[in-house]
Amino acid sequence: MTAATISPASAALDAKKRRDEQIAFVVMVALLMVAPLAIYPFFLMQALCFALFACAFNLLIGYTGLLSFGHAMFFGFAAYVCGHAAKVWGWSPEVAILFGTLCTAVIGYVVGWLAVRRQGIYFAMVTLALSQMIYFFCVQAPFTYAEDGIQSIPRGKLFGLFSLADDRVMYYFVLAVFIFGFWLIYRIIHSPFGQVLKSIRENEPRALSLGYDVDKYKLVAFVLSATLAGLAGATKTLALGLATLTDVSWQMSGEVVLMTLLGGMGTILGPVLGAVSVITMQNYLPQLQNFASDKWAFLAPLFGVTTVMGIIFVICVLAFRRGIVGEIEHRLEQKRNAKR
């Protein structure tokens, strides 16, 4: 679609939506800057890493229309590589994170080159199968220590100057990584390249008929998503100090799908809210379950993490198909259209 064919009303709505997103971004950053004053930094670092992971996944499914059931392979493998480089090789944190991210970019290219040749459920199954291959590789590879994982990973000194041993310093480093990844995704989806991705999501045959090399665009989007997922995994390893098989398992791939759908697929802030919600449930529901088991033992299973997340997922699919942020955006758009 050329600039001449875009109506003034449509352009105004798009500009308004961008302004709203920018305002929401500024508010989010401001809140995250002061969050350590009230919330435990370790929890915040975990939430930010998974938020970046969900945003990376959303770039693929929300803006390109490709459902990957194996995105944990990038998140987890980067975690292992970064942890090994930092603990065994003694690399500085920024170099270890960069190395883990580059490794997942290479894996992302290979996996994407194989997967984008298929569509729909076949694409999802190919990514799941390849993810399981990476999982079993991590089970058997010596440097991953199998079920024990890599533990007590040193944070080191950033650029040889700033010690990341302090949780506050580490938190603001994680925040900087998250803001960079989030900004990069925002720039991608609002670029001409991002508009082509959206057209592929909406109508792939038409995008192909317009002369776009659809497979090439999908491959680039896949590699970008894999790279950012790897960045999240590598950062998580240094922040939490460990890398385990959980990071590369198919359950992790399912969790990032839940995070994205819960917050709002195809929205810029939805995956962040979804990731924070899921991490909050994982951290605080066990305490609620223990309390219920002491008072009402027969109700304890209802407060299990898996049970509650499953119930929320069902409710989201049935009642909030656009996700939390997606529904809010839809309601606001309806109000704007009603005023016109």
pLDDT digits (tens, 9 = 90+) for 120-138: 889 999 999 999 999 999 9
Average pLDDT over every residue of 277-302:
71
Number of separate domains in the chain = 1
Whole-number pLDDT of residue 12: 59
From the CB of residue 129, how many other CB atoms can be counted at a distance below 10 Å? 13
Average pLDDT over every residue of 66-85:
94
Average pLDDT over every residue of 267-277:
92
Query: Angle at the Cα of 29 (from 262 to 313), degrees rounded to 5?
Result: 5
Q: Is residue 339 part of a domain?
A: no
Q: Is residue 64 part of a domain?
A: yes
Q: Is residue 88 part of a domain?
A: yes
Q: Is residue 232 part of a domain?
A: yes
Average pLDDT over every residue of 248-254:
91
30-44, 194-208, 300-314: least confidently modelled range: 300-314
pLDDT grade for 1, boundaries at 50, 70 and 90: very low
- Name residue 160's beta-bridge partners: none
Query: Cα(232)–Cα(32) distance, rounded to whole angstroms?
Result: 17
Whole-number pLDDT of residue 300: 61
9-23, 36-50, 57-71, 266-280: least confidently modelled range: 9-23
Whole-number pLDDT of residue 13: 58
pLDDT at 162 over 70: yes
pLDDT at 148 over 50: yes
Q: What is the domain extent for residue 116?
A: 14-249
15-19, 96-100, 164-168, 201-205: least confidently modelled range: 15-19
Whole-number pLDDT of residue 295: 64
pLDDT at 284 over 70: yes
Q: Is residue 35 part of a domain?
A: yes
Average pLDDT over every residue of 60-72:
92
Average pLDDT over every residue of 173-177:
96
Average pLDDT over every residue of 300-304:
64
How does the average pLDDT of the chain come out, rounded? 87
Average pLDDT over every residue of 82-109:
94
Buried (b) or exposed (e) across 270-295, using 16+ Cβ within 10 A? Answer: bbbbbbbbbbeebeebeebbeebeee
> Which residues lie below 8 Å from residue 253, measured CB to CB, with a gap of 6+?
68, 69, 70, 71, 72, 73, 128, 131
Query: Cα(10)–Cα(6) distance, rounded to whole angstroms?
Result: 7
pLDDT grade for 64, boundaries at 50, 70 and 90: very high
Whole-number pLDDT of residue 2: 39
Q: Is residue 225 part of a domain?
A: yes
Average pLDDT over every residue of 225-232:
96
From the CB of residue 297, how many other CB atoms can be counted at a distance below 10 Å? 9
Whole-number pLDDT of residue 297: 61
- The answer to whether the CB of 278 falls within 8 A of the CB of 51 is no
Query: Cα(114)–Cα(178) distance, rounded to whole angstroms?
Result: 29
pLDDT tens-digit readout, 318-340: 777 788 888 888 787 777 777 66
pLDDT at 58 over 50: yes
> Which residues lie below 8 Å from residue 307, measured CB to CB, with a gap of 6+?
301
Q: Is residue 285 part of a domain?
A: no
**Crossing angle for the helix pair 250-263 and 323-339, nearest 10 degrees?**
20
- The answer to whether the CB of 196 falls within 8 A of the CB of 210 is no
Q: Is residue 257 part of a domain?
A: no
Percent of the chain topping pLDDT 70: 90
pLDDT at 312 over 70: yes
pLDDT grade for 296, boundaries at 50, 70 and 90: low
pLDDT grade for 290, boundaries at 50, 70 and 90: low
Whole-number pLDDT of residue 119: 85
- 173, 174, 179, 182 alpha-carbon torsion, rounded to 10°: 150
Average pLDDT over every residue of 3-22:
62
